[in-house]
Amino acid sequence: MNDELRFSILDQSPVPEGASGAQALRNTIDLARLGDELGYHRYWVAEHHGGPMLAGPSPEALIGPIASATERIRVGSGGVMLPHYSPFKVAETFSLLAGLYPGRIDLGLGRAAGTDPMTTFALQRDRRAPSPDDFPQQLSELLGYLDATLPADHPFARLAATLPGRPERPEPWLLGSSEQSALWAAELGIPYAFADFINAKGAPAARLYRERFAEHEHEGRPRVAVAVWAICADTESEARRLGTSGRMAFTLLRQGRLSEVPPPERAERFLAAQEQGEGTRGGRRALLGTPAQVAEQLGEVAAEYGAEEVIVVNIVYDHQARRRSYELLAQEVGLAAQPVE
């Protein structure tokens, strides 16, 4: 494995069956503290709306408490779903966070709705018509505020100087699961995080990003992170058992049946009844096994993408088992644990 490979965490704030959303959010803070102590590089929180399985609709509201509860780890959004928002409001919010936590705030940006069409419509301020599909324009405007590069004749140009956290600035990333997002990230010259846990065939998009980045002759260098679904346990069979909870929850989601994260015992019975086998489903890749097995496979995925960083995401019913998964991986790959004061 590449000794310089960075390891990070993406947390979707899963809600275990029988628990509350509030408990899931407390679990997020707890896991962030653990990630900080174990030596993970960054901790991102996701944005999802209108369902019982995931308790994180507002990464911008979670980032501050997480950064306050940790010391070293970078904290950010994985990501803010920009079509729901005003670019200026997002710039203000993340500038504020960057000012409070200098050098630690990331602004991961995505195009997906993070929910179903009805909830997307409920999120709109103006409901007279569906919102326009103008993500590239939104993205350019947002970066213009952060970098103070809006043209002088732009009607909002003066607002860039009013961002509250200056001179600090969040680091923007573009999130994606297709080649279109790779093209936008390359054109804008920003780092790119590919969601392999959504689309396991994204290596060509990562290559395209690097090629087009070079063509645009940006001052910096292309940077690629790959977000991968992975669960570690002391045995391979235990990791696969833990993985059944997420598999059942997503199977139900595809069937239009929203649920909390079920316990493995119920998930195993459900999946057996569905006559589903192990492994990838619908283009999704899941790395389930011992720490040595998962670490080796994560290294292979990173090499496939030419990525400098792996962002590990999973959904596990038992919070302690989820903590243990990240502990085992950190030990296996030799992360530098931080002293607990």
- pLDDT on residue 2: 67
Q: What is the pLDDT of residues 247-275, one digit of tens each?
A: 999 999 989 899 999 999 999 999 999 86
Q: Dig out the tokens for 331 from the structure.
A: 């030990």
| Residue 114 to residues 90, 191, 201, Cα–Cα distance (Å) | 17, 21, 21
**Domain layout of the chain by residue ranges:** 6-236+291-333
Q: Dig out the tokens for 177 from the structure.
A: 């699961």
| Confidence category of residue 192, pLDDT binned at 50, 70, 90 | very high
Single pTM value for the model: 0.94
Reduce the DSSP state of residue 107 to 3 states and report it: strand
| Residue 30 to residues 11, 108, 294, Cα–Cα distance (Å) | 11, 22, 23
Of the candidates 295, 200, 317, 323, which has an alpha carbon nearest to the alpha carbon of residue 247?
317
Q: Quick one: residue 114, left, alpha or beta (phi over 0 = left, psi -120 to 50 = alpha)?
A: left
| Confidence category of residue 113, pLDDT binned at 50, 70, 90 | confident
Instruction: Give me the sign of the Cα torsion angle 125, 127, 128, 134.
Output: positive
Reduce the DSSP state of residue 35 to 3 states and report it: helix
Rg (CA), the chain: 20
The total number of residues written for the chain in this structure: 341
Q: What is the pLDDT of residues 3-42, one digit of tens each?
A: 789 999 999 999 999 999 999 999 999 999 999 999 999 9
Contact status, residue 98 vs residue 170, Cβ threshold 8 Å: yes
CA–CA separation, 204 vs 214, rounded Å?
Answer: 16
Q: What is the pLDDT of residues 60-94, one digit of tens each?
A: 999 999 999 999 999 999 999 999 999 999 999 99
Among the CATH numbers 3.20.20.30, 3.10.105.10, 3.40.640.10, 1.20.210.10, which is that of 6-236+291-333?
A: 3.20.20.30
Contact status, residue 11 vs residue 43, Cβ threshold 8 Å: yes
Which range, of 84-93, 115-124, 171-180, 274-283, averages the lowest pLDDT? 274-283
Mention every residue, 6+ apart, whose C-beta is less than 8 A from residue 125: none
| Confidence category of residue 46, pLDDT binned at 50, 70, 90 | very high
